Amino acid sequence: MALPKTIRAQVGIVGAGPAGLLLAHLLHLEGVESVVIEAQSRKHVEERVRAGVLEQGTVDLLNAAGVGERMRREGLVHYGIELCFDRRGHRIDLHSLTGGRAITVYAQHEVVKDLFQARMSYGGPILFEVESVRIEGFDGDAPRIRFRSYGDECEIPCDYIAGCDGFHGVCRPSIPSGILRFYEKTYPFGWLGILAEAKPASDELIYANHEDGFALLSMRTPRISRLYLQCRPDEDLSEWPDPRIWEELQRRFETVDGFRLNEGPVFQKGVTAMRSFVAEPMQCGRLFLAGDAAHIVPPTGAKGLNLAVADVRMLAHALACRYRTGTEQMLNRYSEICLRRVWRAQHFSWWMTSMLHRFEGCDGFDHRRQLAELNQVTSLRAAAVVLAENYTGLPFDLPGERL
């Protein structure tokens, strides 16, 4: 099928990850049309293994937007998590500590599939496997996105561009130097993650602090475990045959009362580097950055996907206001409002990371300090409330930021 070379849109969206797809859907509900372009194939995006924990607010938003039907059926609602240290498990009762909130375990690629399905149902345009993407004119009033699609040169003239193209995308680097300020922290470790056909050994997530390094038990379904262990950031997977991974995981989750993981065939393995990153502001003229394009958090707080959702909720609202009222007042507050939440999530993710991981050169003092902090979080209600409120997700409208 020959593609039109020029596709006009009110909003041009670069990237069909959760941020780009949800933005397109929310805009559609507001009567604003958009075109989404994606560098990868649909299959690639639908199969990419990433996040698993949805905050209460994310779940509520997906439901309100009419894309939560399968999530309600297949998602696993969790009312607590466990922190394991000193070979003992301690439950954090998220539900009672937050006055009734919970998290839902539902894989990011399932959210993406549901959003693709919704987009297809009303014929919203998404172009996959585009190449040589360039964005231009966003500092004036005629932005456009140029790219190649199956050999054709194409362009999308639009009113606004949403840069939802992740950390390695083209939108953020297209902003002239001197406009953005970057804040960055890289951690001297990564996570080796596996998916295994094994019944999760716990109904709830377990975050384990062990002197050999952090480990996390999560799940995807009642028969599939998702497990992570702290490793070097440049860890060579060929040095990690399955028996070594299981042995290391079993050691890190070991408890005095004999906890054991269920083992099974490993069908996916990968290493993720850990970093904290923020680009400020999240706007340059008529270009708006959202999700990982603007910020990265280490996965320990399970905040990345949820932050992307909060960004595009705000962006969709601000764009809808612009088309309804003709003013850019909300759009001009987009960056400032999002960044407040971003920094709260940065702090929480850094705190969880620093409390649970083994740091290079970490001596007996540091480890005992971590244990003291974990003891506090699991025994002092006020400290547990701070963890639970942040983990289940801060309200979308933080105090003083009501839209």
- Catalytic residues, which ones? 78, 207, 299, 303, 391
CB of residue 243 to ligand PHB, shortest distance in Å: 23
Q: By C-beta, is 228 or 246 nearer to ligand PHB?
A: 228
Work out whether 9 is an interface residue with ligand PHB (CB under 6 A). Answer: no
CB of residue 266 to ligand PHB, shortest distance in Å: 15
Work out whether 58 is an interface residue with ligand PHB (CB under 6 A). Answer: no
Q: Which residues bind ligand FAD (CB under 6 A)?
A: 14-20, 37-40, 45, 50-53, 108, 130, 133, 164-166, 169-170, 193, 272, 291-292, 299, 302-306, 308
Q: By C-beta, is 34 or 353 nearer to ligand PHB?
A: 353
Rounded to whole angstroms, the Cα distance separating 40 from 47 reads: 11
Among ligand PHB, ligand FAD, none, partner that 263 touches (CB below 5 to 8 angstroms by kind):
none
Work out whether 143 is an interface residue with ligand PHB (CB under 6 A). Answer: no
Q: By C-beta, is 165 or 204 nearer to ligand FAD?
A: 165
Q: By C-beta, is 276 or 335 nearer to ligand PHB?
A: 276
Q: By C-beta, is 12 or 299 nearer to ligand PHB?
A: 299
CB of residue 370 to ligand PHB, shortest distance in Å: 17
Cα 302 to Cα 218, 293, 354, 379, distances in angstroms = 11, 17, 14, 23
Work out whether 15 is an interface residue with ligand PHB (CB under 6 A). Answer: no
The CA radius of gyration of the chain, in Å to the nearest whole number, is 22
Binding-site string for ligand PHB from residue 274 to residue 313, where x marks contact by CB under 6 A and - marks none: -------------------------xx-x-----------
Among ligand PHB, ligand FAD, none, partner that 39 touches (CB below 5 to 8 angstroms by kind):
ligand FAD
Work out whether 52 is an interface residue with ligand PHB (CB under 6 A). Answer: yes
End-to-end CA separation in angstroms for the chain? 43
Work out whether 345 is an interface residue with ligand PHB (CB under 6 A). Answer: no
Closest CA relative to residue 170, chosen from 66, 38, 363: 38
Q: By C-beta, is 107 or 342 nearer to ligand PHB?
A: 107
Binding-site string for ligand PHB from residue 192 to residue 211, where x marks contact by CB under 6 A and - marks none: -------------x------
Among ligand FAD, ligand PHB, none, partner that 226 touches (CB below 5 to 8 angstroms by kind):
ligand PHB
Among 25, 226, 286, 317, binds ligand PHB (CB under 6 A): 226
Work out whether 53 is an interface residue with ligand PHB (CB under 6 A). Answer: yes
CB of residue 317 to ligand PHB, shortest distance in Å: 28
- Kindly list the residues in this chain that would bind ligand PHB in the complex (CB under 6 A): 51-53, 205, 218, 226, 299-300, 302
